[in-house]
Structures are given as structure tokens and as C-alpha cells.
Structure 1
Amino acid sequence: MLALIRHEAVLPKLPSASGIEVIGNVAYVIGDDAPFLYQLDATTLAAGTPVQLFETAHFSGGRIPKELKLDLECLTALTTPAGETGLLVLGSGATAAREQGFWVPLPGQAGGVGAVYPLSLSGLYAALRPLLPAGVVLNLEAAAATATELLLFQRTVGSATGNLLFRLPLAVTLDYLHHRTNQAPAVRQQLFELPHIDGKPAGFSGATWFDNRLFVTASVEDTQDAVLDGEVLGSFVGVLELKDNVRVLPASLARLERPGGQPYRGKVESVAVRRRLSASRYELLLVTDDDAGGSTAVLVEIML
């Protein structure tokens, strides 16, 4: 597997990018300390009109302070069993303030966005926490959706024991989040062995479901704190296999490289597929966060 960076562009006035999905000609992006859903042209990256997810008095400086932010890290496009297409936005769950999410319907085919529905995630996250290894804090960093499952990715920084995938039935989970049922969904978990850089283990950072493949990103930070940032050592991208009744799976990921083979040391936060180039080649659009409010979009060609 090979993952080569073809282009990188700064995303001005888009702080701390944490999630991206591409639907048609629109790239939807969230930031972990911003109250907006940003809309970009998926080809040119030209900025469209952002959609406000929630009101806040703490964004005047261009970033919501760390202790107050909702930490919106998970973004996935999905189609409900009723046929409604939309975006599910989820907080990381690392603190009580980060148990908030949003459902954003997409009623049109040309970038139209419907009314934003806030979602409380406290009940769902309470069902996930007992499945974590002892001493590990819930810290969801990515989400993806198949036709039948919602996939949530736990990032356990500084440890290889908590890189978990939570697999939830999609229909039941959506009913629970929208208060159509009081029964929390059943959860299956799968542990993945991720690669290392300089002895530090990678942690999940992004995911998307495309062409019946689960594309993921993982990054390496020199920290053991789910809230505090550390030195970024590099990032990986690849495809995971979903297997039933397998407790631990190795993850075959490629380290991101610049032209000429130089390792990329940026912190990739999420991944979307822009297009398929051939049966085993895809053009990916990644977003990064420099932990100081800066964001970039990275165009990558991956050869599986």
C-alpha cells in the first residue's frame, strides 16, 4: 500500500478541522472548537456559506476555549432506513461538555442543508464506557456508516490497548438518539493493532465508508492525555477489514509520504474519498489540524 500527497492547501477561517465528508460536489467540514458546519467546493476548496450548528458567546476569538468546546470530532454521511440523507456530528465524549451531537439533514442534491437537530449523547456514551479497558477515557475521534451499522472509533493516545471500533446497529442507534426508543443499542467492539512511529502507537483519527470499503486515518502524538495535545510525529491512511467474531485485528496502513518519499509529519484528522481512479486507486481528501487553530486540506492518492 502506498499513500502519496499530491497537494496541500491552507483552509483559511476554518479552525481546527476535525471531520470531513464529500457528497457530490460539496465537502462538509467540522472543527473541534468551532460552532459551524463548513461547506467547501470539493474540487477547488472554495468556501461556501457555513451552517451554524449551535449558538455560543465564546467564538469571538476565532476558537472556542478548550475547556468549553464541544470537541466535535466525528462526522459521517448516512442514509436513514426511511431514506433520508444527512450528516451525523458527534462530540468526542472525553468530558461531560463533549457529549453533544447534531443531525443535519441534506434534503437537496446541490448542497442544501436542512434544520439542525441537537442530540444528547450521554446515554449512548454511558453504554460505551464500560467496554473500554481499565483506566482508558472515552475519546471518539471518527465515525463512519454502512447501510446497516454505525461505526465509532475510539482513540486512545499513548497506548496500543484502546484503539477500538464500536459497531452499532444503525437503525436502532438513530431511533435511540432521536428518542423514538428508550432502549440503548447493542454494541460490538473490535480492537485493532495500529502501527508505531518512534515507538509511539498511532490512534484512530478519521474514517469513511466508500465503495464498500472502510477507509481510515490514524495519527501519532507524543502524549498520553485524551485532552492535552502532544508533539505530532506523523499520520497513516489505509483500509480496514470488518470481520465478525475476531477480537483483535492487525491494521495494514500506509504512512503518508510527500513526493520523493519524505514522511509527512502533519496531524491528519479525517478522511473522505473524492473519487475512485481505478479498482485499487483512490483520490482522498484529508483535513489536518496543527493544534494551534490552523487547518489544511490534503489531496492524497492511495494505491491499495
Structure 2
Amino acid sequence: MEKFKLTNFFTIKGISAASGLLYTQMVLFVISDSSSFLYQYDMDKKLLLKFPLVKEARENIEKEHKLDLECITQHGNQLIMLGSGSTQKRNTMFTLDLGSDVLQIQDLTALYQKLKTVGSFTDDQLNIEGAIYAYQTMLLFQRGNSKNGKNGIFIIPNNQEDGIRFLPITLPTLDDVETTFTDAILVGDKIYFLACAENTESTYEDGEVLGTILGVMHAPTFEIIDIHLLSEHQKFEGITLYNETKNELEFLLCEDNDTETLETTIYKLNFLK
């Protein structure tokens, strides 16, 4: 019996290049790596709202100017969105209070420089693609798709004086190309992560997509305990928990199809525990 089932769930018109998503209370929040809006999709009413993150927010922003929002996570009533750090213009964190709609913006240049130092990365190697906040610690998932890049997890305690650590992670290969992190979430004591194989040596330029895997990691030790091939040709970039029962987890996934078409397909992944 297959342990998972992946199906086309629904399509949202008005969003392109989806890079992350977060589900809460029948609302699906979506970010795009080429847009400076936060999208809010009411799944019951099938209604899409756009929340500008900056003045004169735009969609389909040119690659050299985009914020490259790749991470969205939640801490209490706060939505946290992060740029990838792969260029100087991609070092911004946005925090939105879901109760008051108050938006805060923070420049992460100093933190990202510290991450490069800790991980021994050059300026063009840092590429943050997933974030988890739990137990007074932020986990940032580094996508090692640049030349000589390394997959891994930055472990950042609330009190940074306790020390930031970088834990290298070796991921499986597809067609002799190592998969690289594209997102991750925490459910119980397990981390569920997406990783894509893309035939490129750059954090900036896209390459031929060779497939995406779903991995399961034991959160306390970061040991990989399960791997499943989701697709041989799609690049899944976002994962969020939709529903949980005794025997099954239901995730929602989004795909970056590297086009400017304002349309995003949301997939449902049923996964047996």
C-alpha cells in the first residue's frame, strides 16, 4: 500500500511563483518569491485578498529587484516571512500580527552575515528556503544548490549569545544531482521537509527540475528516518499542515513552475503515519 497520495486540490487565480504557504482556520496564506504581497485565500469563500508588505507592492518583480520571500512560519499570533538572503536585496523579515494586522519590517543583513560566517559560506552561497520556530529556537533551512553549496540547518536560539550553529545535512540524489531543501515544517517530534533536485550551480539562476522528495526527520536529533519521491518533474516549494488524524497527516503543497502566469495550483498530500 502506498504511504502517500498526491492530488491536485484547487487552483488560485491571481498568484504566480508561489514559494511558501501556511494554513490556519480555513485561511491559506501564500507568499511568492517574485511578489511583495502576502496573499490570503479564504478556502471556504474562495476569496483571494492581497496584503501589501511594502509601499507600492508589485507582482512579477524583476529578478534583480525582488525580495525573494521563500519562508513563512507562525509563532503564536505572528506570521513570519523571510527573504532567502541570496542577494543583498533579499535580507528582509516581515512579521504580521494576525490579530491587529500590524506589520513590522526588519533588516536581517547582520544576522545573515553571521550565518555566512558560521556556515563558512561565500556571499552567493547563502539561500534560506524554510523556517521553523519552536522551543525558543529558529531553524533556518539552507538550500545548497550553489556551486560547492551545502544543505543544512542553522540553529538560532532566542539568545544569540548562546551561539548559532550550522548542521550540514546530506540529502538523497535524483539523476546524480543532490536534492536541496525547499521548505520544512514541524509536526509533533518530526520535521517534514521538501527537497528538490535542480540542475544548476547557482542560487540565482533556475535550472532543469529533476524532481522533489518528501523527507521525514526526527526533530530532536535531525536524523532522516524516511524519504519519498513525490515527483520526477515538479518543484514543490511550500508545505503546510492541513489536517491530522490518528493515522494520517494531510499537507497542502505549492509549486513554483517558474512562469509569470498569475495562477497557482495547490496540491493535497495524504501521508500515512
- 1:6 offset after TM fit, Å? 2.3
User: What is the aligned partner in structure 2 of residue 177 from structure 1?
Assistant: none
User: What is the aligned partner in structure 1 of residue 129 from structure 2?
Assistant: 141
Structure 1 residues 136-168: Cα deviation after superposition (integer angstroms, max 9, x where no partner): 611001111113211100001166861110111
- Structure 1 position 226 matched with structure 2 position 203: yes
Gaps of 5+ in 2: none
Structure 1 residues 104-162: Cα deviation after superposition (integer angstroms, max 9, x where no partner): 1111xxxxx51211111011101100123455611001111113211100001166861
CA RMSD of aligned residues (A): 2.3
User: What is the aligned partner in structure 1 of residue 242 from structure 2?
Assistant: 274
The 3 A distance-change label for structure 1 pair 233 and 242 is same
Q: How does 1:133-212 map to 2 (within 5 A)?
A: 133=120, 135=122, 137-157=125-145, 162-169=150-157, 171-172=158-159, 186-212=163-189
User: What is the aligned partner in structure 1 of residue 226 from structure 2?
Assistant: 252
SS at match of 2:13: coil
Q: Which residue identity does 1:299 align to in structure 2?
A: K
Q: Which residue identity does 2:210 align to in structure 1?
A: L
- Structure 1 position 95 matched with structure 2 position 87: yes
The 3 A distance-change label for structure 1 pair 49 and 115 is same
Gaps of 5+ in 1: 80-84, 108-112, 173-182, 257-262
User: What is the aligned partner in structure 2 of residue 35 from structure 1?
Assistant: 36
Q: Which runs of 4+ in 1 moved over 4 A?
A: 133-136, 158-161
Contact persistence 1:71–1:98 (CA under 8 A) = yes
- Structure 1 position 123 matched with structure 2 position 110: yes
Distance 2:227 2:3 in 1: 9
Contact persistence 2:196–2:236 (CA under 8 A) = yes
Contact persistence 1:195–1:251 (CA under 8 A) = no
User: What is the aligned partner in structure 2 of residue 217 from structure 1?
Assistant: 194
TM-score, normalization by structure 2: 0.90
The 3 A distance-change label for structure 1 pair 185 and 98 is farther
* Bigger strand share: 2
User: What is the aligned partner in structure 2 of residue 241 from structure 1?
Assistant: 218
User: What is the aligned partner in structure 2 of residue 178 from structure 1?
Assistant: none
Give % identity.
Answer: 28
- 1:50 offset after TM fit, Å? 1.5
Distance 2:86 2:244 in 1: 35
SS at match of 2:169: strand
SS at match of 1:273: strand
Q: Which residue identity does 1:101 align to in structure 2?
A: M
Q: Which residue identity does 1:75 align to in structure 2?
A: I
Q: How does 1:18-29 map to 2 (within 5 A)?
A: 18-29=19-30
The 3 A distance-change label for structure 1 pair 25 and 147 is farther
- 1:278 offset after TM fit, Å? 2.4
